Amino acid sequence: MLHFISVSFFVALSLSLLCCARDPFPFSPSSPSLPISGKCFPSLFGFGDSKTDTGNRQAFFPFESRSEGPPYGRTFFGGPSDRFCNGRLVIDFQAQAYGLPLLSPYARGLGSDFRHGVNFAVSGSGCIPNVADSVFYLTRQLNQFKKLKALYIDNYATDKSYLSPSEYIGGGLYVISTGENDYRAGINSMGLSSEEVKEQLVPKVVEITYSTVKELYKEGARKFQVVGIAADGCISMMLTRVPHEEPKDLDALGCLTSVNDYVQYHNELLFAAVKSLRAELPDAHVAYGDYFGSNVGILVNASNYGFEETRKACCGVGGNYNYNPVVQCGQTGEVEGNNVTAYSCEDPSKYINWDGIHLTEHFYELIALDFLHGRFVDQPSMLPSSCVLNFSSFNTYPKFGKSFPALKPF
């Protein structure tokens, strides 16, 4: 059991392409050496925001995303990889551990390999329409999945070399990780208090997530990982933008108590929704990933994992937390009459915060290792006995292997 711890043209063009594009369908293998069917999951599908987005934001809004330029991607990819990170995300580590290729973004279309799954997550998106800053909110991502499913079935009818639709859809793992952007918008744009976020936004976000799982189930999905929200009160951007003048405004870890209060409320409601889904969908496996618990565990033991900065951003400029919304990571601009550039730190692995909004590859790897080993996860194992998790591409596992015993995976 888990314990909770204390726009424009491109938009119209993208939507029209998604509605009308059919052929050729991008299921050609990008890496022939990879098996068509993994021993853990045959396919992987991602839904959510920048924690999961592997390139949809850039594809939908080209030349507008900071993730297209340096220093993004510097650690693992050697350059920009359209991820808001210095390297890999949690879902990248999951794919590698399951023996699958990194997920192609849905919006990339032609030239992508969708045979092992698809990523629908879009940076900046949320659950509630017209609240977060992306038009590709969770329900729209669900609709994109439905279109992809129809195209896959059509494609399979003429080429049986692909996985059967029942294996591709029914055997895949569906990762849903979203919600932060709704609440950040509530605080930073709508001017809501923490209590107002809890009252006005949290129930809606949880209800939409719950409904999305049920809709995916109707489409044939059976294996889900529904992920809670991280400790957003420890993010450089929130620490910069939310006033905290009184000692009670920060907890023992130096994080915003008001923000983490609504985060934990969200997670409690989401976990309750997951338990309801299990009762309503008896042949489904619905795992709950306690991101907050894993996050706090990393903060408490930060030095053991090589972190030297837990709240300052690696890539940024100015202020107590090395974050400025006017000049963000990789940008040059004027601050208080001075021309400044937001550079990256020398070693991102020593930081939890990457650019003040998103986190570093090292942090995401630790979250992935927790989830892959069943820590901070509530649900009996859904992995087949033939599954052997592959950590050969991980950086942290060889170093902290004894700290990550081979526990029961989710």
DSSP H or E run through 309: strand 309-313
Closest to 251 (Cα-Cα) out of 265, 242, 261: 261
Closest to 144 (Cα-Cα) out of 288, 51, 21, 44: 21
Among candidate residues 43, 50, 112, 125, the one labeled active-site is 50
Closest to 90 (Cα-Cα) out of 388, 298, 347: 298
Among candidate residues 116, 266, 358, 362, the one labeled active-site is 358
Give 164-233 as a DSSP string: PHHHHHHSSEEEEE--HHHHHHHHHTS---HHHHHHHTHHHHHHHHHHHHHHHHHTT--EEEEE----GG
Residue with tokens 């991101």: 291
Query: What distance in Å separates the CA atoms of residue 325 and residue 315, rounded to the nearest whole number?
Result: 12
> Which is it for strands 332-335 and 173-177: parallel, antiparallel or unpaired?
unpaired
Query: What distance in Å separates the CA atoms of residue 76 and residue 372, rounded to the nearest whole number?
Result: 20
Closest to 168 (Cα-Cα) out of 45, 26, 31, 23: 45
Among candidate residues 49, 53, 232, 355, the one labeled active-site is 355
Q: Reply yes or no on whether 358 is catalytic.
A: yes
Decide: 302 and 352 in contact? Cβ < 8 Å: yes
Q: Is 16 exposed, middle or buried (0-12, 13-18, 19+ CB in 10 A)?
A: exposed
Query: What distance in Å separates the CA atoms of residue 190 and residue 181, rounded to the nearest whole number?
Result: 12
Decide: 105 and 112 in contact? Cβ < 8 Å: yes
Closest to 138 (Cα-Cα) out of 192, 85, 187, 181: 181
> What are the catalytic residues?
50, 355, 358
